[in-house]
Structure formats: C-alpha cells, structure tokens
Amino acid sequence: MNTATHASDTRVVTLNESYFSSRTWFDWLFAVLAVAGGLFAFSRYSGAMDVYEKGILLAAMPAVIWLGWFWRPLRVLMLVVAACSLLGILSYQGSLARADSVFWLKYFLSSQSAILWMSVLFFMSTAFYWLGMVGRGQSATMEMIGSRLAWAAVTMALIGTMVRWYESYLIGSDVGHIPVSNLYEVFVLFCWLTAAFYLYFEAQYNTRALGAFVMLVVSAAVGFLLWYTVVREAHEIQPLVPALKSWWMKLHVPANFIGYGTFSLAAMVAFAYLIKQQAHETRWHKLTPIWLLGAALCFVPIAFRQRGVAEAGGSYWVGYALISALIAAGILLGRKRIAARLPSPEILDDVMYKSIAVGFAFFTIATVLGALWAAEAWGGYWSWDPKETWALIVWLNYAAWLHMRLMKGLRGTVAAWWALAGLAVTTFAFLGVNMFLSGLHSYGTL
C-alpha cells in the first residue's frame, strides 16, 4: 500500500515538475503581468463589485494564465489587447468628447472605430482565404495573409469590447456594464469567439484551408452587424433593462456564445466535408449542400422583409443576396479545386466533433446558469419562454448528435448533414426568436 502511494506521489511530482519546467521566461512574465493586472483591478474597483463579481475577477487570473500557457499565441493576443485598451482608456481622460479629437481614439481605439476595423479585417480575411483556396499560385501565401488578418480582426474586436466597457461607465456609473447585453454587442462576441476557436483548430491541424468556409459565417454575422449599426444605431450604449442588471450576465452570455460560435464552426466544417464528398458529382441537382447554402444566405433578406422591417427590402439586403448567390455559384463551379485543397475527411470529421463537443459543454453550462438567473430575476427556473424553449431544442439536437457519435459511432455524411442542419436550429434560436417571437427575452428584439 505504501509502495503504491509512493509511486503515485512520484508520478504526480514528476508530472508537475515537467509541466512547470517547460515554461519559458515569457510564460512566467505573462503570469506575473496577469496577476498584477488582476490585483490592480481588484484594489481599484473592488468597492464597486459585489462578492460574486470579486470572485469572478479572482478566478479570472489563474484562468487567463492557464489559457495563455495552454495556447501560447493567446499570450501575445491578451498583452496587445491589454496595452491598446489601456492606451484607449487613458486617452479619454474621463471625457467621451475626446473620442472626436484624439487621433488614436477617432481612428483606431474608440469602441466604434475598433469594431469597424474588426469588420473590415474579417471581410479581408475571408477574401484572402478564398484567394488561397481557388488561386493557382501563391495559395499558401494568400491563406497565411488571411490567417494574419483574422488574428488582427480578433484583436480589434477585443479592444473594441474592452474600451466599450469603459465608455459605458463614462456615460454614468448606473449605465456601465459588460458589453454583452444586446444584439450588437453579442454579434461582436460571436464574431471573435468563432474566429478564435477556428484559429486554434487551424494551428492544431496545421491547415488553413478551412478558413475560407468558417470565415463565411463570420462575415455573414459582420454583414448583419453593419446593417444593424446603420439602421438601428445599435452602437449607441444604452442603460441595462432591470432583468439584465445581474452578475449572472457576465457568465451566462459568454458561455452561451461559445456554444453558438463552435456550433456554427462545426456546421461550416460539415459543409466543407460535403463539398469534398460531392466534388466529382456531375449532376448539378445532386449538389444539395451548395444549393442549400445559396438558399439559406438568400433567405435572410426575405426573412427581414417578411418581418416587416422597412429597411430590410433596401439596397443593402439586395446586395447581400447578390453576393450570397455569387459565393454559392463560385463554390459550385470550383468545387473540384476546393475539394482538392481541403484536408482529409478524417480531419474534417474530427474538427466537427471537437467543435460540437466544446460547444455542447459550454451551452450546457450556459443553460444551467440561465435557469439560475431566471430564478433570481423572474422567480422561476423555467417558464417555457420562446428563447428558453429553443435553447432546449438546440441542446437536445447536439446531445443527440453526441450520443449517436459516442454510442453508435456516427461518422461521415449523416453526421455532416446533421451538423449542417444544426446551424439552422442554432440560427433560429440565436436570431429568429428575436425576429418572429416575443417573450421574457424581448430586450433582444429587432
């Protein structure tokens, strides 16, 4: 018994020594900076926090260190975001009026400027990924540029988010809140989370070919975000409705959108899988994935017109539909070259599975947190509100997918079609409910 215990202890010590001894000086510098930043924030702002928010801040410090050590590119990302966000915050000097007079704020570091840069960079990233996909020369270079632009877009999105958080407090202490409270803010969250998870898989599998597909869904979200900004002036910071004035929001919403983002990522990988599978199909009516993509993208303007939004039938959505049709046609005509550039079906299947597994874990956490939040805000854990009902449908869909995968060995075509269909379910839960239904979550309506 003692011998076994001693052997077990030896293995633990060896493991720990190996883990920490593999840390570089930059890892330790990052850890020190993360702890110092967290303690500074705690000492300065703890008076404005309740006990739960203090706990979140303290727990965030080891979490940030672990993330930076787990995936090392995040160290540079977080340090750049922190430095630029602090520069933007200090440039305000306590006055929002300086956003129009200070060069860095006006063109780069105010929240709206940073998010507009995010939008442009995501569009450019998508374009370069596709140039790498269909181009005959310098494909690797084009894809590398697309990847770098995606990193830059994630950086600007995070800077915009952090500065917007500070801007809300400049408007008023009763207005200040973490920027995950309305459709505008969560679309920004969705864009950078989806892109960040994709970039992780890109590094893990050493392939950039999937960027062309994943960035399509990110660019579609950016397209909606820009329309929503212009038509609804959604970038204006608004006070929180009473139900959202809770620390639960800081946990529930990010966890929820990790689920939405990774489910969308899995769907686009599934689409790539089906393109690779049907690359040599000569009967055009059999190329169902491409036709479905075109129909789904073109359905957006129709849905908005049906919703009765006056601006939905304007030139913006006509242009959106035309671009969607061109993308679908381009994939249709170039499917053989695209399929040749994609990684093996085994890799596509594995990325799809891991994306759904991560998304399901976080979506489950978000659902539980949402129930606890509902109990605090409305007096009941579950009320069959449309948003809650569709969240349950999303959860059941992916629970069934994972069950079939793990218990029955679900792979290949059926799994890909199921994951692609899941995007329609997820999109309706995310956006459709806000457009067509009403309920306790009416603060998210268009």
**Average pLDDT score over residue span 71-75:** 95
Phi-psi region of 364 (alpha: psi -120 to 50; beta: other; left: phi over 0): alpha
Q: What is the pLDDT of residues 252-268, one digit of tens each?
A: 999 999 999 999 999 99
Model pLDDT, residue 321: 73
Q: How confident is the model at residue 136, as a pLDDT? A: 77
pLDDT range class, residue 77, cuts 50, 70, 90: very high
pLDDT-derived band at 445 (thresholds 50, 70, 90) equals low
CB atoms inside a 10 Å sphere around CB 407: 8
Cβ–Cβ under 8 Å, residues 183 and 435: no
pLDDT at residue 86 greater than cutoff 60: yes
Check whether 443 has a pLDDT greater than 90.
Answer: no
Query: How many CA atoms lie less than 13 Å away from 164 in the CB half-sphere?
Result: 27
Task: Please report, rounded to a whole number, the percentage of residues in the chain having pLDDT higher than 90.
Answer: 52
User: 289-317 burial, b if ≥16 CB within 10 A, otherwise e?
Assistant: bbebbbebbbebbeebeeeebeebeeebb
The mean pLDDT of 343-356, rounded to a whole number, is 95
Give the model's pLDDT for residue 11. Answer: 44
Q: Confidence class of residue 4 from pLDDT cuts 50, 70 and 90?
A: very low
| pTM exceeds 0.75, yes or no | yes
pLDDT of residue 313: 45
Question: Where do the structural domains in the chain lie, given as residue ranges?
Answer: 23-444
Least confident of 69-73, 335-339, 382-386, 403-407: 382-386
pLDDT at 12: 45
Q: What are phi and psi of 235, to 5 degrees?
A: -75, -15
pLDDT band at 281 (very low <50, low <70, confident <90, very high): low
Read off the pLDDT of residues 291-330 as tens digits, 9 standing for 90 and up.
Answer: 566 555 555 555 555 555 444 445 666 777 778 778 877 8
The pLDDT of residue 292: 61
